[in-house]
Amino acid sequence: MPPQKRHIATIPPDIRRTPGTVPLDPPGIGNEDFNAGRKQSRFGYPVLELWELVRPVTLAEMKDKWGMNSAPMGWRYVGRGLWEDRWGGEDADGKEDRGGRVRRVF
């Protein structure tokens, strides 16, 4: 099966950590290994929320529908069309409307 992107994470726009700088409280999965330099990642980001897409984004859609040259190798900002199609937009009152597009993981 071709690769699919299944999750959207909410991260703060102004926090990026390097190994050795991630607080251990509250605990997080992989924080100790990241701080000790046992991960390949150069940067870490706090995950505030994690959402699972009801309808994952396929590689074909990334290329054909949204003009991406290849699948993201990590995280990526997405354009408005993809965002509104899979995440949701605003309702008539300007409030966020997920419309069953995602399920909250945490």
Q: Quick one: pLDDT at residue 83?
A: 79
- The answer, yes or no, to whether residue 31 has pLDDT greater than 60, is yes
| HSE-CB for 93 with a 13 A CA cutoff | 3
- The answer, yes or no, to whether residue 49 has pLDDT greater than 80, is yes
**Tell me: the pLDDT tens digits for 64-82?**
888 888 777 777 777 788 8
- Write down the pTM of the prediction: 0.69
Angle at 102 between CA 99 and CA 106, to 5 degrees: 130
What is the SS3 assignment for 86?
Answer: helix
- The answer, yes or no, to whether residue 3 has pLDDT greater than 70, is no
